[in-house]
Structure 1
Amino acid sequence: MTEPSFSGGCQCGAVRYRVEGALSYPHICHCRMCQKASGNYFMALAGADHARFSITRGQPSWFHSSDQVRRGFCAACGTPLFFESVGDDHIAITLGSLDDPSALPPVSQDGVEGRVPFFHALSGLREKLTDRSDLPGGNDAIAASNHQHPDHDTETWPKESKP
């Protein structure tokens, strides 16, 4: 049986990474530090051994959210990518930065003391598809001018401009 591998990266494609082997303990963290680092109600993470983890393009920037922990992100587009306890042999990957974020459903909710009180009600909210008809050209114009890196490894990025 083939061992799994995972790739991912930031929104602009400046930083890409790969994990050879399984990711462990996919979870969402509701702690206030993860809320601030993600700019969201929670951060989804899974762990990898450093020995199986590599940066395949660019270099992340790092912010020490405490003396014990640092968080890696893309300095060009701001995408949160990693969480790492200083000196540990593991690194946590943000699940949303994976090329296939649906590959690892969370198994736990951590840091629940920071969970927003209405979190349990989010699944009951009205659902709708993306509609940017408020912009010239709407969704089609956004798709035609998308600068986001695709959800797979590329030899070069950004795309070469056509003459």
Structure 2
Amino acid sequence: MSAEPITGGCQCGAVRYRIGRLGRPTICHCRMCQKAFGGFFAPLVTAHDTEWTRGAPSHFQSSDKVRRGFCADCGTPLTYEAEDGLEIAIGSLDTPTLAAPVAQVNADFRQPFFDGLCSLPQVGVADAARNDAWNAALTSFQHPDHETATWPQET
């Protein structure tokens, strides 16, 4: 078990979990993972001794060997489940930095533009200020990155 609890969950807070120990964090480039995450890759970490503390994921059987867990309320991808164990979506961890990827898998399926993504220009200062103001003015209904006794919060 970790000294500090390793927790996480979906965007809306309907599904929450606690993990005893993390394994190897990776990013998977296979087309199935791209579609499951709606992105260019799936960031996943092996999870040992996982307990669902609020709700539970719904599942989609994406192949004869793998099923994928997600929140039925908000759609957040949560798990990759196969014979060899459970993997959790790194972005669903309350502290994603606990699982910085150490390897890429299925690199033959990597999108051809992937390697150049970090060299794309960043938003200019004027646009950044406008984006910061927009973000500061919004009211988020996203679950916070920590455990809550109840959710949604009482208003």
Partner residue of 1:63? 60
Q: How many residues align?
A: 151
Q: Out of 98, 105, 108, which is 2:103 matched to?
A: 108
Answer yes or no: is 1:80 the counterpart of 2:77: yes
Q: Structure 1: how far apart are the matches of 2:17 and 2:119? A: 35
CA deviation after TM superposition for structure 1 residue 10, in Å:
0.3
User: Helix, strand or coil: the match of 2:40?
Assistant: coil
* Cα deviation 1:53-86 (Å, max 9, x = unaligned): 100001210000001110000010000000001x
Answer yes or no: is 1:29 the counterpart of 2:28: yes
**What is the TM-score when the length of structure 2 is the normalising length?**
0.90
CA deviation after TM superposition for structure 1 residue 130, in Å:
7.8
**What is the TM-score when the length of structure 1 is the normalising length?**
0.86
Q: Structure 2: how far apart are the matches of 1:24 and 1:2? A: 12
Q: Structure 1: how far apart are the matches of 2:2 and 2:107? A: 36
Answer yes or no: is 1:20 the counterpart of 2:17: no
What pairs with 1:1-163 in structure 2 (closer than 5 Å)?
Answer: 3-21=3-21, 23-49=22-48, 52-85=49-82, 87-88=83-84, 90-128=85-123, 129=128, 131-132=130-131, 138-142=134-138, 145-161=139-155
Query: Which blocks of at least 5 consecutive residues in structure 2 are unaligned?
Result: none
CA contact (8 A) 2:28 2:104 kept: yes
Query: Which blocks of at least 5 consecutive residues in structure 1 are unaligned?
Result: none
Percentage of pairs with the same residue: 52
